[in-house]
Each structure stands twice: as structure tokens, then as C-alpha cells.
Amino acid sequence: MCRPMQPDFSLSMTYPDGEDRPPVCDSSAILSAFNMSALASEYMKRPLKWRRQAGTRGRNWAATEPPIHIYKYRQIVAADLQSIDRTRQLLVHGRIWFADPSSLNDLHDMHFKLELDPNPQVRRDWVKRNAHLLPQMSPAQRLQEQQRLMRASLTPELESAFTADMDANMGVFCASQDPRNEPMWAHYAADHQGICVQLDTSQDELSLLLKKVQYSTQFPILRIPHSSNEDQEHFLFKSTEWAYEREWRVVVPRNRFSVELRPPTIAGVILGTRSSEATRSAVEALNGERVKLRRPPFKIYQAAQHKDRYGVRITEIRA
């Protein structure tokens, strides 16, 4: 009946690693697909100081504006070439991955309950707007099909089709606002042996699409059909059981591709409390690769346990 987001979403992609590897685009292509090129251009023309002042500092979860820094927790295995290559994609090339919903660890993530709009006029208007999607048929058959759609009820088959469409076509990038979150270090960074990558949102226009996840005891609802100017953000809701993650995300109607951020966006790498010397050496080597590509080096930090209280402290490693 309708898609959760615009159905004509298209991106200009390249295949820098070969056509057998996932495609890549930059942030400007994403903003262009959302018809936000002018806003993105104006944002990036502003002084960096202004862009930073527009963001939220620290870990103030009550703030409505995106934070200046968001964090991606990652596992890294220094002896595994595939693991190093995946880390290289992020740390050296600044590429973030847009995953499909079925790959997320929250079984309910980006799922929803469907509701049919009770207003018959809304349903009639939607059918008229989308009449061109009906197959070729006689005028009488077309009218009959339109009337059937206006009376449509939500069947298990229809709900299943919507969920399948979401898994097949929606993509999400997730990050946390909190670099000292011990459960996050345990769950996503190999029990404190991995790393946490600091992203500076003021350095890239993709931050204009960042949305804060809403944690709720109520399952999200998607109303169909809905008007084109109705903002439905069912994809931002998660159970309160996940509230500790303090997550921000970007959601687009495409998945299994990378977005290459502007080089200064990769601002720092935090080594886990239990990270090895091999991990540190691997991160330093990847930083060196950045420099060879004339990209600004990122700062390297070390996480450690507090000695006299619960929590993690983070200090910069000076060369």
C-alpha cells in the first residue's frame, strides 16, 4: 500500500574495491537523495565553531540536538587479516556500514505493528495518488481494484509483506553517545579487548540525518496509508531494555553499502581496558596509513578501570 520512506530513493554509488565488494557513496549523495543538498551545503559552509556549538557536548542524553561526538564500539583481532581490513575501512577510509534490520542484535529492532488509517478519505487519497502502480487493466477492473484497496483490511500476509520489505530495503547505521559504557564495551568490543571509534559529527553533513533512539515500553506503530507530509518514525523505537546504549542512528531505504565520511570525522580511537599490545600496534599502523593518504591522523586513547569507584576513565596516549 505504501512504503515507510520515499520509494524513489536512489544513490550514486562507486565500487572502489571491485564490483564483487559492497558499493560506496559519500554523505552528499545521501543528502541529495533526501532532497537536502541545499541544506547540507549551507551547513558545511558554516564555520566549524558554529557547527560545534549546534551540537550537544558530553553525555547529556536529555538534549535534543545530536552530540558532537558519537562512538562506534568494535571488535578487532590483530592476527586476523579480515578483521584488520574491516577496521581499515572505518579508520583509514572513513567508511561506515548501513546494515539491514535482520542483522541487528535486537530481535524487535525496526519492527512495528501495522494499523490501517481509520479515515476513509485518507485511504481514497492514497489510492488515487498510487493508481499508476496498478497493473494494466480495463477501466472497470481498475475501479474495482481501487475500491478493494480502499476497503482493505490488515491480513497476516500483508503484515508479513511489510516486515519483509523493511528487512530487504531499509538500512541503518547505529552509534552510541557514551564512550564509557561498560555493557557496550563488553557486548560490542569483545569484552573490553576491542576499540571504540570516536566520530566528530560536526565534520560531516550526514549528522543532519542523525536521530535519537526512543526507548519505550510500547511497541511502535506504523499507520498505513499515511500522508506524504506525515513524519512516521517507528524505526527509532526500541525497548527500554536497550536504553543503556544511548543510541543515535541514521536510517535510509537501502542497505548493505558504505558511506565514506569526510576525513576529519574519524577523530579518535579508544583502546579497550583489556586491549593487547598487538591491537595498539594495529591501530597505530592504520593511523599511519591515514597519514600516507594525506588524511588527518586520529587521536589514540586508552580506557582503564577506576581504582576507587565503578566506571571507566579515558586518557589520551601521547606519542
Any domain includes 12: no
* Residues 287 and 276 reside in one and the same domain: yes
Better-predicted residue by pLDDT, 116 or 8? 116
Q: Which domain holds residue 48?
A: 24-110+170-316
pLDDT above 70 for 170: yes
CA–CA gap between residue 114 and residue 258 (Å, rounded): 30
Any domain includes 29: yes
Contact 208, 35 (CB under 8 A): no
* Residues 70 and 86 reside in one and the same domain: yes
Q: Report the predicted TM-score, pTM, of the whole model to 2 decimal places.
A: 0.87
Any domain includes 135: yes
Question: Which of 130, 146, 169 is the last residue in one of the domains?
Answer: 169
* Residues 92 and 126 reside in one and the same domain: no
pLDDT above 70 for 152: no
* Residues 249 and 303 reside in one and the same domain: yes
Q: Which pLDDT band holds residue 226 (cuts at 50, 70, 90)? A: low
Any domain includes 4: no
Task: Output b/e per residue, 110-129; b: 16+ Cβ within 10 A.
Answer: bbbebebbeeeebbeebbee
Instruction: Say how many domains are in the chain.
Output: 2
By C-alpha distance, which of 108, 74, 111, 109 is closest to 91? 74
* Residues 306 and 157 reside in one and the same domain: no
Cell numbers representing residue 253 in the block: 531505504
Any domain includes 202: yes
**What proportion of the chain, given as a percentage, has pLDDT over 70?**
84
* Residues 54 and 190 reside in one and the same domain: yes
Least confident span in 52-61, 147-156, 251-260: 147-156
Please compute, for residue 284, the number of CA atoms within 13 A of its CA located in the half-sphere on the CB side.
11
pLDDT tens digits for range 130-143: 555 555 667 776 66
Least confident span in 26-35, 63-72, 216-225: 216-225
What pLDDT is stored for residue 4 in this prediction? 39
Contact 56, 67 (CB under 8 A): yes
What pLDDT is stored for residue 145 in this prediction? 61
What is the number of residues in the chain? Answer: 319
Q: Which pLDDT band holds residue 7 (cuts at 50, 70, 90)? A: very low
Contact 81, 91 (CB under 8 A): no
Cis check: omega of the bond before 225, within 30 degrees of 0 = yes
* Residues 97 and 220 reside in one and the same domain: yes
* Residues 157 and 296 reside in one and the same domain: no
Give the mean pLDDT of the chain. Answer: 88
Better-predicted residue by pLDDT, 185 or 111? 185
* Residues 193 and 256 reside in one and the same domain: yes
* Residues 133 and 265 reside in one and the same domain: no
